[in-house]
């Protein structure tokens, strides 16, 4: 069996997030909201400006951007997962200048836009470069691109990842560094990659946010509600999920007893660039 095609990759990602949409950012874990606001602080949309938010999820960055541009501006939020788009539409009923549509981040709607922003999504794309070319074409002359991506993982969690993936082939084991490849490997590789693609004034700021869940059961609930769901579904499809959970639960319980809840340090970069 060959590698999946770009369309198959996108369909797989869209399916995972469509199934997760009902609980995405709804299980009492303070993560996507702070990260979305961090991105909007970096892109700094102003009244009257036009914003494209790709891979919008439930609107963690699209809604703050709409609040920033006000009724004289506009925000177009897109996502491949229809259920995510419906959630944004419901959440933004008081912001009629925010429009949410099903859309592909690599083939976004026509501009021009003053801001293109993407929250924790570009590392899912089959072709980062194709998206960067398209974003550059969509931006107004003084426009800017902003996106968030993961930095260094919390090394304390390596035993948990090892426990979850122990029964899988090595190349299929879930990892906290799933996004840390290619241009996403480091700040230097990302900045060099953007410069080679014709972007200028590239800067990155980093936030370190402590994420907390109550206990092992809450961690699994959180994991089903977001991108890690793909790993859990893979384990479940092979009949390996119960064994993985049995291995990981004592580790999570030990962490909860020590720290008063299961905690990890999430390092998130927000990169800003101009065409």
Domain covering 6-151+178-213+265-274 assigned CATH 3.40.50.150 in the classification: yes
DSSP string of 168-234, one letter each residue: S-GGG---TTTT-SGGGG-HHHHHHHHHHTT-EEEEEEEEEEEEEESSHHHHHHHHHTSTTHHHHHH
Rg (alpha carbons) of the chain, rounded to whole number = 19
Q: Note the pLDDT of residue 74.
A: 98
Say what the pLDDT of residue 1 is: 53
* Residue 175: per-residue pLDDT: 64
Q: Quick one: pLDDT at residue 107?
A: 84
Sign of CA dihedral 232, 256, 217, 119: negative
Residue 172 is predicted with a pLDDT of: 80
213 close to 29: Cβ distance less than 8 angstroms: yes
In the prediction, which pLDDT does 170 show? 84
Residue 6: the pLDDT is: 87
- Residue 106, phi then psi, degrees to nearest 5: -80, -20
pTM of the model: 0.94
- In this prediction, residue 231 carries a pLDDT of 93
Measure the CA–CA gap between 89 and 99, rounded to whole angstroms.
7
* Nearest in space to 242 (alpha carbons), one of 163, 177, 171: 163
Which positions of the chain have pLDDT values less than 50?
Answer: none
> What is the model's pLDDT at position 188?
97
Q: H helices of 62-126, where? A: 62-69, 82-91
Domain coordinates in residue numbering, the chain: 6-151+178-213+265-274
């Amino acid at each position: 069996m060959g590698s999946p095609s770009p369309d198959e990759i996108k369909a797989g990602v869209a399916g995972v997030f469509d199934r997760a949409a009902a609980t995405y950012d709804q299980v009492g874990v303070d993560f996507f909201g702070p990260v979305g606001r961090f991105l909007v602080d970096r892109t700094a949309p102003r009244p009257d400006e036009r914003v494209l938010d790709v891979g919008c999820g439930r609107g963690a960055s699209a809604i703050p951007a709409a609040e920033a541009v006000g009724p004289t501006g506009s925000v177009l939020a897109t996502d491949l997962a229809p259920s995510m788009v419906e959630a944004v539409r419901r959440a933004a009923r008081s912001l009629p200048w925010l429009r949410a549509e099903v859309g592909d981040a690599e083939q976004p709607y026509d501009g021009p836009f003053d801001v293109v922003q993407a929250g924790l999504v570009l590392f899912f794309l089959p072709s980062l470069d194709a998206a960067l070319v398209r974003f550059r074409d969509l931006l107004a002359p003084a426009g800017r691109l902003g996106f968030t991506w993961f930095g260094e993982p919390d090394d304390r969690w390596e035993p948990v990842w090892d426990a979850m993936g122990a029964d899988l082939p090595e190349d299929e084991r879930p990892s906290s560094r799933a996004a840390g490849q290619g241009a996403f490997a480091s700040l230097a590789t990302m900045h060099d990659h953007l410069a080679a693609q014709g972007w200028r004034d590239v800067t990155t700021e980093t936030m370190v946010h402590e994420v907390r869940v109550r206990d092992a059961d809450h961690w699994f609930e959180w994991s089903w509600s977001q991108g890690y769901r793909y790993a859990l579904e893979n384990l479940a499809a092979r009949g390996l999920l119960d064994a993985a959970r049995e291995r990981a639960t004592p580790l999570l319980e030990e962490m909860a007893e020590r720290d008063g809840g299961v905690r990890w340090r999430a390092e998130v970069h927000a990169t800003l660039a101009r065409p």
